[in-house]
Structure 1
Amino acid sequence: MTQTIDRDWLASHPLPSHGPGTDKNSRGRVLIAGGAEFVPGALRLTGEAALRAGAGKLQMATVRSVAMALGVLVPEAAMIALPGDDDGEIAASASETLIESLGRCDTMIFGPGMGRGDTVSALLRALLEEPHTERAIVLDAAAIAGAAGLAELTARHQGRVVMTPHFGEMSALTGRDVEEIEADPEGIARQVAQDYGGLVVLKSSATVIVTPDGASLGYSSDCTGLATGGSGDVLAGVIGGLMARGAEPLVAAAWGVWLHGEAGLRVEKTIGPMGFLARDLLIEIPRLMAE
């Protein structure tokens, strides 16, 4: 039976508390890798969302040609400049740098702003090779398709990999038609969660979250304005930021989905039901948590 994510559920599954004397390291370190020469802004949305969710430190890794501009745009983040290929995407040779940076973070978010291709899968394979019981990984956007065939590697991370596909990305991961996924989103999400040994957040107007053992949660805000470019980048950042703070994957995913949806409803009232931007959601995240 699918439980509804509401204020009662959230109250019984609170986020980690950070009281007086907390330093930025104890609030968690997030590494976000992705972006490309033509889509550098996705990491800005994901990075700021992680910080708005309460993470203490942020590193962003992207192609060298846009790293400086992104660093100026997000001055709170440390930048990691990666080699790029002829298409302006992160090159396969970036794996060594990313693996080194992975060792200094609590949560990694991989995929926002990247184009699909064999390089994504190769990078992901390298990043998943060494599991760590205290590190969580969010796979978003292009990383979803890149995870196809890597179920054995993700399962080694003991449920600490969170995948955040929409229907199109789930189709690329599973090879199933979008129409088939639309007909049974919970069932297909449950199968993927079991096969990959990770938590699946299948995004739609009615989002479903499924754990590897088959438990499921659901949330629907019926907020049409959330169907906009960059909205998923924000959600990935919130979930990653909450896990960096110490929230377990299911708690972080449920809170992230709820905060994202409720932020949309807030912005809908102040700006309008259509036409608000993904970045308009960001300021509402800490306000909602404070309540």
Structure 2
Amino acid sequence: MTDPPELFPGFEARTISVGGGKLFCRVGGKGPALLLLHGYPQSHVIWHKIAPTLQDHFTLVMPDLPGYGMSSIPALSATHEAYSKRSMARMMVELMRQLGHERFLLAGHDRGGRVSYRMALDHPDAVEKLAVLDILPTSDYWDRLDRSFGLKIYHWMFLAQPAPLPENLISASAIPYLETTLAAWTADKSLKSFSDEAMTHNRHWYAEFARIAATCEDYRAGATIDYEHDRADRDAGRKIRPPLLALWGDKGIASSVQDPLQVWKQWCDDASGQSLSCGHFLPEEATEACGKALLDFYTSE
């Protein structure tokens, strides 16, 4: 299989040993450090459209989450610990320290958003400002599941089934499943928002059974250990300390809840936010509006 196309000209490609694994990342730009975390079923490539807007203002660090893209694949386990957002957040903090950034700006989309708000809860001194893209906290999603919401995020229950059921079923038709999933979460229910080059990257790594299994393990962690960590924080009254910006697509997944910002205000006293005209994939469907919102948030006093 040939290597996928280059989408980050001028950025350095690095693979860094962190916490017993290896994280692949792209690093480039200038200014304060900004860590960008992708979601499912994508990789760091989700940021390729928005990077040109941000790279003149920030030093961008764009890793692949463990198991995704070109990062190493942690072993699956009965506790799903390696795929907990707490474990992933710890790895990302160590990654940034190895790159010389003790404190940094942070944005996460989808699963990367879950790693991001967990990082802000567990490592508040490392996170200067936090942006979460088209998500609500994990425990809120599970606690709000009803018939209509369950149909919209059916994959949460499907992917969280015990191994190897979901990965076996997906791998039998991996690329059609990938393409159907991506299209279903866009505003126009198509792949038009994704560049051909980005789709080449997506298909490249999602064809590997071990990586499909890793993404399922990510959701198994979400249904178990991640939920428990969220509930423990809520029960203890712990909140997100850094300023938080919530962005969501008006036809995205988070918009299934009537007022996503009100949910985030229960988790963070300094929360602001807005909807954008798009589906779930803000950096690719609403690149200009998303870039402006992030830039305004990070550069405001």
TM-score range, shorter chain: 0.3 to 0.5
TM-score (norm 1): 0.43
